[in-house]
Chains A and B, each alone.
Chain A
Amino acid sequence: MSRLSFLSPDEADAGVALVSPLRHAVSEGLTDVSALGKLEIRGENAALEPEPGEELIRISDDRALLVTDASTRAARERLAADDRRVYDMTAALAAFEVEGEELLRRLTELDLEALPAIGSIARGTPALIERRGGGERFRLFVPQELGHFVAEVVADMARGLGR
């Protein structure tokens, strides 16, 4: 069976320059973390536990996103050995972090007390939103093709808040 290696940027040679979907985006007010590894895991995930350096975001009982600090390779191999259906979404999702609940409230209707959750931001762009740490820092995952647009919106919102 195919290993679907063409989905995984970390299968590229060392000399290949990988670029972030947000590289040309307005960077004020947001931190680009698109380089994080992201694996979509399909199927029952109750028993699944992340390893050190990984974060498991359960989207539903049978859908989860495993976020890895480094390459997804180790996680992919481990989960494949476990017979799980795993899809590398590292390149599919732009990821960034922003500060401030007020900014988030202008971006999304989601209940900020009930994160992580998937909802729409900036007029219909699907986003997975989670809190980072105990404060007002948020991490958002959006389709990379809309990453630049979302960054423009975030910058505009920040201007509206006088930042």
Chain B
Amino acid sequence: MRIAPQPGERIDRRKPFTFEYDGAKITGFEGDTIGSALYAAGRRVFSRSFKYHRPRGLLCCSGDCPNCMMTVDGVPNVRLCVEPVRDGAVVRAQNVLGSLERDLLSVVDRLGGPFTPVGFYYRTMIRPRRLWPVYERFLRNVAGLGRVGGADGHARRYDTEHRRAEVLVIGGGGAGRQAAAAAAAEGRQVVLVDERGGVTAGGPYEVLAPARALGIYEGGLVPVDAGDVLYRFRAERIVVATGAIEQPLVFPGNDLVGVMLPNGVRRLASEWSIKPGEHAAIVSVDDNGLEVAEDLRRAGTEVARVVDLRAERPVHLAAVGRRGRLSRLVVDGEAVDCDLLVMSGGRQPAYSLLAQSGARVEYDPQRGIFVPTDLPPGVEAVGSAAGELGPAAVPAASFDGGRNRGRSFVCVCEDVTEKDLKRALAEGFDSIELAKRYTTVTMGPCQGRLCHVSSIRLLARETETDEAAIGTTTARPPWSPVELGLLAGRHYEAAKRTPLHFRHVEAGATMMWTGQWRRPFDYGDSEAEVRAVHESLGVIDVSTLGKILVEGPDAPELLERLYPNRFADLAAGRIRYGVLTTDGGRIMDDGTIARLGDELYYVTTTSTGSESVCEWFEWWNAVWGYDVEIVNVTGALAAVNLAGPRAREALAGLTDADVSNDAFRYLDAKEISVAGIPCLGLRIGFVGELGYELHCPASAGEHLWDALVALGAVPFGLEPQRVLRLEKAHIIVGQDTDSESNLLSAGMPWIVKLEKEDFVGKWAVEHLQERGVRERLVGFTMDVLPPEGAQVVRDGRPVGRVTSARVSERVGRVIGLAWVGPDRAEEGAAISIRVDGADHPATVTLTPFYDPQGELLRS
């Protein structure tokens, strides 16, 4: 119930908001959080603990601890104590079977204790192994936090924004605001990030609130979680004003509902005007805890007992409860009835972000806290985060409960008790990093905010050393829990579209991915498209081919040294096939190279190879110090291949240029105008019929395509092209070759000109020639269609594999390419290929299946 307005009240009672909690309507006011509204409505149990399903209530009211996490509007693990109220929100408890008040799984707490010590699942549930999946499913259901709903994650939109700040202040407390104002007064561009949203905007600096800095990365990168937007800040100066975090005390019953930290109580009583309890007790090492007494009295709560640990040193201390709720505090045998216990174990500088940025953290034994030192350049700490804190006594690592033997929790997130940590130590996990991994202390949602210091203190006492010797664990981002969707941001899949893309779509093509490119698989009838090329005229969009201009006085020399075959002696206007190999002689990419002038070459690459080939060229150009420009013009040009017996006649109809077989020979390159468009014409063919490749400005591509189609050219897709090229036994780099393939094994020894002084990969080819190759790529024919990747077998053992196979109507059989042992690489050799478990005979062929002499291409 609300009490009369308090001096620090932050709610506006004229503005009510109503939300739904487990079926009931709850009303709060503007300024309330869902957590405070529920507390005002009399709710005390806010969650069930991770492992034991113990009831847990509000503890910090500052968004630090896991105790108030529920599912709000389908989003799991929302900390209600900092989630503003809003109309219509649907709030549900999580990790319970039944309700928060009656959770059937709490049986784990009553019965499971002796059977579920730390790390029990490593030991007791590993045998028999096959049952592990069953155990695992059970454990996952019993333990844990909220569940991610199936479709809920997709309903929300997350954006990423790149920001810059001269000064980024993290934390909107007094010290942070002061630092921000000072920097702004110096004329700096300042952004202040505040978790709580209590700082008002509109001042001399920008305020982002509520928003959380997740980490400090190299180069001053600070990701900031602002709910629906992740800001990636690059800051010249970072001021960390994250304040200090109130620490709990370790004693039996310290997790009971009603045991709270000072700020939690202060906020309930003074900011939200709620009577936190009827009878309260306070146990504190500092004034911070004691001062709450004043807030409590104002709110009408009786303060029954105050234990100032600077003055008193009780031997026994315990909280005792009924059904998980606090009922009394017992100090050295003296019991006090209370439903609220304020515990204060001192305040610890929130140094995590500083440690991430590279600062050292040192233990101050006088004050019992870890203080950041040696800050890296560009990073500052101010206020409590820097260790500017009032005096406090150093609390005992834990209190003995005397006759009251409840569990003492070190970590409420992961339900790690004092006993668990001691057990880990006894088993030899005696460094803080090992104990952390074994018990998962500090690894829960609070990320060590409430358990880091306690666990170090306990380890120090148990190993009879000091906290400095134990040291801290490595601080890693994220410092605050963050939704994975926010880190992922928008999902975009980059698609490259050729200049003819929409012509294909309009023609009803089935589009497919090849790398980043979208390409037509076919236009509905692959076989008919193959037939059109053989019998009449086809046209295919080959704009995806990489296209590179290589120009300069050293261009011939550069290509001569890059390729295993010759390019310096290539005549202007002529074309030659080339294969690029790595230093180790492995096949990297292939394509055609046309010489357009003394110092100018036009190189084509595979569809996926243009960028890597360009980089390869530029690298060697720099290494050899040549005067050559390498220009990637892939996107500048649309390219089509016009192929079929009617190709010449069709081309002649669209150009004034002489395209007769004498004037435009096989492997000629010519700049001609086609359909009014300037084109580079290349007389080459990946498919086995007479063909011309026409390269023209991308923006004129549709015009050229339309002109060719109007002359009767049948568009054909990638699938028919694959049949047509296989008939010619043309390899596809990456399909028929892999990262081990070389020119000798791939059956292209004619490309290698070993008499050249040098070329990339020459030593490797020489070496291979001496040693011989282990495999050979050969053609084969057979009567059934093997899947690509099918095994070539001999005596039942695999000795090779099929890389490509298609039914060729033209050849009248199944044709394909396969890797076989070198002894099988003979014309007519018999091999076996396994298809669906049965071995089928196949015959090796070393020449193209169709037009082996290439007469059609030259005709």
Which residues of A approach B to under 8 Å, CB–CB? Answer: 1-9, 11-13, 15-21, 24, 34, 40, 42, 85, 87-93, 102, 105-106, 108-113, 122-125, 143-149, 152-153, 156-157, 160
CB within 8 Å of A: which B142-175 residues:
157, 159-164
Q: Are A20 and B699 in contact (CB under 8 A)?
A: yes
Q: Are A149 and B678 in contact (CB under 8 A)?
A: no
Select from chain B the residue with minimum beta-carbon distance to A102: B161
| Chain B residues within an 8 Å CB radius of A7 | 633, 636-637, 697
A105 with B636: in contact, given A12-B676, A148-B497 (CB under 8 Å)?
no
| Chain B residues within an 8 Å CB radius of A9 | 697-700
Report if B814 contacts A (CB, 8 A). no
Report if B330 contacts A (CB, 8 A). no
Contact check: which of A5, A88, A122 meets B636 at CB < 8 Å?
A88
Minimum CB–CB distance from A143 to chain B (whole Å) comes to 5
Q: Are A160 and B159 in contact (CB under 8 A)?
A: yes
Q: Are A111 and B549 in contact (CB under 8 A)?
A: no
A92 with B676: in contact, given A122-B492, A146-B496 (CB under 8 Å)?
no
Contact check: which of B497, B600, B703 meets A1 at CB < 8 Å?
B600
Select from chain A the residue with minimum beta-carbon distance to B490: A156
CB within 8 Å of A: which B493-507 residues:
494-499, 501-502
Minimum CB–CB distance from A111 to chain B (whole Å) comes to 6
Report if B450 contacts A (CB, 8 A). no
* Interface size, chain B (Cβ < 8 Å): 52
Report if B232 contacts A (CB, 8 A). yes
| Chain B residues within an 8 Å CB radius of A144 | 499, 635-636, 698
Minimum CB–CB distance from A131 to chain B (whole Å) comes to 15
Report if B482 contacts A (CB, 8 A). no
Minimum CB–CB distance from B531 to chain A (whole Å) comes to 31
Report if B30 contacts A (CB, 8 A). no
**How far, in angstroms, from A106 to B494 measured CA to CA in the complex?**
16
Contact check: which of B157, B637, B671, B679 meets A2 at CB < 8 Å?
B671
CB within 8 Å of A: which B407-439 residues:
none
| Chain A residues within an 8 Å CB radius of B675 | 16
**How far, in angstroms, from A157 to B159 measured CA to CA in the complex?**
8
Contact check: which of B234, B597, B676 meets A16 at CB < 8 Å?
B676
| Chain B residues within an 8 Å CB radius of A17 | 702-703
Report if B599 contacts A (CB, 8 A). yes
Select from chain B the residue with minimum beta-carbon distance to A34: B699
**How far, in angstroms, from A145 to B547 measured CA to CA in the complex?**
13
Select from chain B the residue with minimum beta-carbon distance to A42: B629
Report if B596 contacts A (CB, 8 A). yes
Contact check: which of B164, B498, B673, B677 meets A145 at CB < 8 Å?
B498
Cβ-closest 10 pairs across A and B: A13-B676, A92-B636, A9-B697, A91-B698, A1-B597, A91-B697, A11-B678, A2-B596, A145-B496, A18-B699
Report if B709 contacts A (CB, 8 A). no
CB within 8 Å of A: which B454-495 residues:
490, 492, 494-495
Contact check: which of B159, B598, B634, B636 meets A106 at CB < 8 Å?
B159
Q: Are A153 and B161 in contact (CB under 8 A)?
A: no
Contact check: which of A8, A34, A148 meets B678 at CB < 8 Å?
A8
Q: Give 17 A-B pairs besides A40-B631, A144-B635 with Cβ atoms closer than 8 angstroms.
A: A1-B598, A2-B597, A12-B700, A13-B677, A18-B703, A87-B549, A88-B636, A89-B636, A102-B161, A109-B232, A123-B494, A144-B636, A145-B499, A145-B635, A156-B492, A157-B159, A160-B157
Report if B551 contacts A (CB, 8 A). yes
Select from chain A the residue with minimum beta-carbon distance to B598: A1
Contact check: which of B161, B634, B679, B703 meets A6 at CB < 8 Å?
B679
Minimum CB–CB distance from B734 to chain A (whole Å) comes to 20
Report if B353 contacts A (CB, 8 A). no
**How far, in angstroms, from A109 to B219 measured CA to CA in the complex?**
13
Q: Are B671 and A105 in contact (CB under 8 A)?
A: no
| Chain A residues within an 8 Å CB radius of B679 | 6
Could you mark each residue 520-557 of chain B with 1 if its beta carbon is under 8 Å from any beta carbon of chain A, else 0?
A: 00000000000000000000000100000101100000
24 contacts between A and B (CB under 8 A): A1-B596, A6-B671, A9-B698, A9-B699, A16-B700, A18-B699, A20-B699, A40-B631, A85-B629, A87-B631, A91-B637, A91-B698, A92-B634, A92-B636, A105-B163, A109-B234, A143-B496, A144-B499, A145-B498, A145-B499, A145-B517, A145-B543, A148-B501, A153-B490
Report if B211 contacts A (CB, 8 A). no
| Chain B residues within an 8 Å CB radius of A102 | 161
Select from chain B the residue with minimum beta-carbon distance to A7: B636
**How far, in angstroms, from A91 to B164 measured CA to CA in the complex?**
34
Q: Are A24 and B502 in contact (CB under 8 A)?
A: yes
**How far, in angstroms, from A2 to B637 measured CA to CA in the complex?**
16
Minimum CB–CB distance from A120 to chain B (whole Å) comes to 11
Q: Are A106 and B162 in contact (CB under 8 A)?
A: yes
Minimum CB–CB distance from B233 to chain A (whole Å) comes to 11
Minimum CB–CB distance from B493 to chain A (whole Å) comes to 8
**How far, in angstroms, from A25 to B66 measured CA to CA in the complex?**
47
| Chain A residues within an 8 Å CB radius of B449 | none
Select from chain B the residue with minimum beta-carbon distance to A114: B164
| Chain A residues within an 8 Å CB radius of B543 | 145
**How far, in angstroms, from A89 to B490 measured CA to CA in the complex?**
31
Could you mark each residue 697-738 of chain B with 1 if its beta carbon is under 8 Å from any beta carbon of chain A, else 0?
A: 111101100000000000000000000000000000000000
Report if B696 contacts A (CB, 8 A). yes
Q: Are B600 and A2 in contact (CB under 8 A)?
A: yes
Could you mark each residue 578-599 of chain B with 1 if its beta carbon is under 8 Å from any beta carbon of chain A, else 0?
A: 0000000000000000001111
**How far, in angstroms, from A13 to B248 measured CA to CA in the complex?**
82
**How far, in angstroms, from A37 to B517 measured CA to CA in the complex?**
26
| Chain A residues within an 8 Å CB radius of B636 | 7, 88-92, 144
Select from chain B the residue with minimum beta-carbon distance to A93: B635
Q: Are B496 and A12 in contact (CB under 8 A)?
A: no
| Chain B residues within an 8 Å CB radius of A24 | 502
**How far, in angstroms, from A152 to B637 measured CA to CA in the complex?**
23
**How far, in angstroms, from A77 to B164 measured CA to CA in the complex?**
43
A105 with B162: in contact, given A6-B697, A91-B697, A145-B498 (CB under 8 Å)?
yes
